Amino acid sequence: MRDGSPFPRVALEARAVSHSYPGRQAFKALNDVSIALREGETLAIVGESGSGKSTLSRILLGLASPSEGQVLCFGKDIGSLSRRERAAHVQPVFQDPYSSLNPRHTLAEIVAAPLLARGEQRACALRRATGLLEEVGLGPAYAQRRPAALSGGQRQRAAIARALIADPEILVCDEPTSALDVSVQAQILNLLQEQRRERKLSVLLITHNIGVVAHMADRVAVMRHGEIVETGGVRDVLLKPRQDYTRLLISSVPDLRGGPIKPLATAP
């Protein structure tokens, strides 16, 4: 709520979005999906594999156009924004930190890329990138390293720094911890929480793991077969699910069965 209004604006919105992939016209990966991410909140999208989450995330990022419907970023059709305008508002964090970072560049270059692309002076951009790397837990020694020298968790830290460097209002995170060892997943989620609070980010968090939802989200939308089948506040949906499908997702996470919603363990 950067404007101080008690009624948060909608940051990113899908309006009646449907999508079919070419050659599979009978099959809709998304069918009439409407969701709104409000400013400052974390909205989780949860659903089993193949339910359409990544398709929706690419469309919300403006990386793909929907077959039908519209995506609005602060009220503007995302299709009408230039790539640079879009990138200034919305940034992605993808699942796979192994393929999302250019292997030939140093971490400082990778993180500085969005600044260099908009014409900032190289030395200054690299300096800011190095500072942000430090903020996400990768000290000065990391700035000159390349992705191959890093663990999965460290790569995801670098990917988060790259997403944050140009000061976007919105992050769209598609399974940001699914490719990581269980032991580092909580650290990356904690980093996202920290950055979200400090920068007052609006976060769309896509996951198939309802445990992640419980720890991170304010609201949740449940997807199945390309449709939103249930949506609401996290506690309402997790404690009083209305759909059998949601109940099933919840029952697959041992920590949540019947128990209270626990806060995340803090990272060492």
Total binding residues toward Mg ion, as defined by CB under 5 A? 2
Neighbours of 4 (CB within 10 A): 5
- Pick from 13, 38, 41, 55 the residue near ligand ADP by CB under 6 A: 55
Q: Contacts with ligand ADP in 7-46 (CB under 6 A)?
A: 21, 24, 29
- Pick from 10, 36, 50, 69 the residue near ligand ADP by CB under 6 A: 50
| Tokens (6 digits) for 154 | 């460290």
Give the residue with the Cβ less far from ligand ADP, 54 or 65.
54
**Residue 70 touching Mg ion (CB under 5 A):** no
Name the region of 113 (left: φ>0; alpha: ψ -120 to 50; beta: rest): alpha
Q: How far is CA 139 from CA 34, 145, 159, 167, 239, in A?
A: 41, 11, 15, 20, 41
Distance (Å, whole) CA 159 – CA 91? 10
Instruction: Considering only the stretches 47-55, 130-138, 190-198, 249-257, report the one whose residues sit in contact with ligand ADP under the rule CB under 6 A.
Output: 47-55
**Residue 54 touching Mg ion (CB under 5 A):** yes
With CB cut-offs between 5 and 8 Å by kind, which of ligand ADP, Mg ion, none does residue 50 bind?
ligand ADP
- Pick from 49, 82, 183, 266 the residue near ligand ADP by CB under 6 A: 49
CA 265 from centre of chain: 21
Give the strand pairing for 10-20 and 28-38.
antiparallel
Give the residue with the Cβ less far from ligand ADP, 60 or 112.
60
Instruction: State in angstroms the smallest separation of the CB of 12 from ligand ADP.
Output: 17
Instruction: State in angstroms the smallest separation of the CB of 63 from ligand ADP.
Output: 12
String of DSSP letters for 76-102: EEGGGS-HHHHHHHEEEE-S-TTTSS-
Distance (Å, whole) CA 189 – CA 206? 12
Binding mask 24-53 for Mg ion (x = CB under 5 A): -----------------------------x
With CB cut-offs between 5 and 8 Å by kind, which of Mg ion, ligand ADP, none does residue 40 bind?
none
Radius of gyration of the chain (CA): 18
Instruction: State in angstroms the smallest separation of the CB of 51 from Mg ion.
Output: 8
Residue 11 identity (one-letter amino acid): A
Tell me the backbone φ, ψ of residue 264, rounded to 5 degrees. Answer: -65, 145
Point out which residues pair with 202 in neighbouring strands.
170
**Residue 54 touching ligand ADP (CB under 6 A):** yes
**Residue 47 touching ligand ADP (CB under 6 A):** yes
Using DSSP, state whether 168 is helix, strand or coil.
coil
**Residue 190 touching ligand ADP (CB under 6 A):** no
Residues at the contact surface with Mg ion, assessed by CB under 5 A: 53-54
Residues at the contact surface with ligand ADP, assessed by CB under 6 A: 21, 24, 29, 47, 49-55
